[in-house]
Amino acid sequence: MQNQSRIPKLRETTFDSALLWFSELQCNNLLFHPEDDPAEIVRISDGKLLFSDVEIEELRFLLNELEAGIGHEKVIEAAYPVFMNAFGNQLDA
């Protein structure tokens, strides 16, 4: 049982902060698509849930904060380059 959250801190509700937050999720092997419910994310290696109940609530809260601050579309735009990098696709600058 884990006691400490693995979810990175969200510094601000700005596009740049969202981009950094998604990058930190990726570095910690916790990246998921922001339109997916964190309660349904499972590890491929063993089929177990990736996040604890506390982390699920934290993620939902942070995603709601981001959407309130920059809007749904901008949250998706901030996640996009991180996903492309995770899949090995380099984007043009």
The crossing angle, in degrees rounded to 10, of helices 15-27 and 53-70 is 150
Of 39, 33, 15, 10, the closest CA to residue 87 belongs to 33
Tens-place pLDDT, residues 30-42? 999 999 999 999 9
Q: pLDDT class for 88, splitting at 50, 70, 90?
A: confident
Tens-place pLDDT, residues 42-79? 998 999 999 999 999 999 999 999 999 999 999 999 99
**Which residues does residue 42 pair with via DSSP β-bridges, in sequence order?**
49
**Calpha distance 74→80 (Å, rounded):** 10
* Res. 2: pLDDT tops 70: no
- Where along the chain do its domains lie? 15-86
Q: pLDDT: is 84 or 89 the higher one?
A: 84
Q: pLDDT class for 85, splitting at 50, 70, 90?
A: confident
pLDDT for the residue numbered 93: 56
What pTM was estimated for this model as a whole?
Answer: 0.88
